[in-house]
Amino acid sequence: MRAYRSLFGALVGLAGLVLLAGSGGSGFSRTLTATLDAQSSVSTVPTVRVHTDRTAMWMGDRITYIIEIVCPRGMDVLDDDLSKEKLVLDGLEVVGADATRAEGSDELTTRRFHYVLTSYRSDRTSRRIGPLTVRYFMTRPGQRLEDTPPAGSVQVPPTVVAFRSMMPEEQESPTIRDFRRFEPRARFFTLAQPVGLGLVILSIAPALIWGTALVTRKRVRTSQRSGRQTRREARASLEAVRAMSIDSEDGRRQAFDRIDALVRTHLLDVGGIAGPSLTPSEVAPALAARSSRLDPEAVVAVLALCERARYGPPAALPSREACREAIAQTETLLKSRW
């Protein structure tokens, strides 16, 4: 019974609206129609449009792929869903990407995402950009977009870019076109090659001779200057040894250390003998081979005394008089010339 009453009430109301519209309710009808048209014209979700700046490309060409999303008032899309890493590319590579935002007077926000793409693959006849899902959100003042739950998502349709190539389509993989032979050089160029090499060698020879002479002269000056400096340092070191206190055992050991270093350095810097790496018994043959004016016995005696002071037991440590005598012998050796 209640169902019949509800149906009757609905029919009565519908009849009243029809009568009102037919008699004098033309203004009401126009108002209702305008309201419905306005509501239908305003989209409640973002709209997506994609396009490229060209429909076909050659190998190595660059194309611009644009995703344009128009968001109603109070809506925005998540930029992370439109990053270049999220693109689904088949045979294409991303070279660059950027994004822009434009606010319209009709309270619509237009987001444009530009991607620069290229391709270096020749094994496919077309390039494809796959579909993409983009989430959109309702923006609220004071709240970050990342903290807002998504209100929904829109789909970016796929795009196909044709590929143009000069290679045959039935060829599976490109090969090197080496069937053409090299053309022989003219006889003039064959004869000119040795002449040119000879001229290059002649032009380099004076520069090599001049550079060798300059380096040799510089080395001679350096060795002379370093020799004077070495003798000056040797005299200063010897004076420092004389100023040392040799009354104690530690003082005498330090003095013999300095004397040993002075003599061995003198052999190396002045005579070219590897004094620091030779034992006292090996120094005499090395001096004899160089025809030196140094007394080999004196050199061996000083080095042997230093060895005993440095590495011998405390009872074998030379006395103060022996230390002074070693200092005097060292001075004589330092003054000797080769």
pLDDT at position 5 is 46
Q: Interhelix angle for 280-289 vs 249-271, to 10°? A: 20
Task: Report the distance separating Cα 79 and Cα 146, nearest Å.
Answer: 10
Inform me whether the pLDDT recorded for 151 exceeds 50. yes
Global model pTM greater than 0.75: no
pLDDT at position 170 is 55
**Would you call 213 helix, strand, or coil by DSSP?**
helix
Q: Interhelix angle for 320-335 vs 249-271, to 10°? A: 10
For residue 99, what pLDDT band results from cuts at 50, 70 and 90? very high
Inform me whether the pLDDT recorded for 290 exceeds 90. no
pLDDT in tens, 266-287: 777 776 777 777 888 888 788 7
More confident of the two residues 293 and 101: 101
pLDDT at position 165 is 67
pLDDT at position 107 is 84
47-164: CATH topology is: Immunoglobulin-like (2.60.40)
More confident of the two residues 118 and 22: 118
Do 44 and 71 meet the contact criterion of CB atoms below 8 Å apart?
A: no
pLDDT at position 130 is 92
Task: Report the distance separating Cα 153 and Cα 86, nearest Å.
Answer: 15
Helix (H) or strand (E) holding 239: helix 187-242
Mean pLDDT of 310-314: 85
Domain ranges of the chain: 47-164, 244-335
**Would you call 17 helix, strand, or coil by DSSP?**
helix
More confident of the two residues 6 and 106: 106
Mean pLDDT of 307-320: 85
The C-alpha torsion from 87 through 88 and 90 to 92, rounded to 10°, is: 0
Average pLDDT score over the chain = 77
Q: Which residues pair with 110 in a beta bridge?
A: 70, 102
For residue 292, what pLDDT band results from cuts at 50, 70 and 90? low
pLDDT at position 218 is 64
pLDDT at position 29 is 43
Helix H segments across 243-319?
249-271, 280-289, 296-311
Give percent of the chain with pLDDT exceeding 70: 75
Task: Look at phi and psi of residue 99 and say left if phi exceeds 0, alpha if psi is from -120 to 50, else beta.
Answer: beta
Do 63 and 46 meet the contact criterion of CB atoms below 8 Å apart?
A: no
CB proximity list for 318: less than 8 A, separation 6 or greater: 252, 256, 305, 308, 309, 326
Question: 258: closest CA among 310, 322, 185?
Answer: 310
* Strand pairing category for 62-71 and 109-118: antiparallel
For residue 22, what pLDDT band results from cuts at 50, 70 and 90? very low
pLDDT at position 82 is 92
Inform me whether the pLDDT recorded for 154 exceeds 80. yes
Do 174 and 59 meet the contact criterion of CB atoms below 8 Å apart?
A: no
Mean pLDDT of 100-127: 86
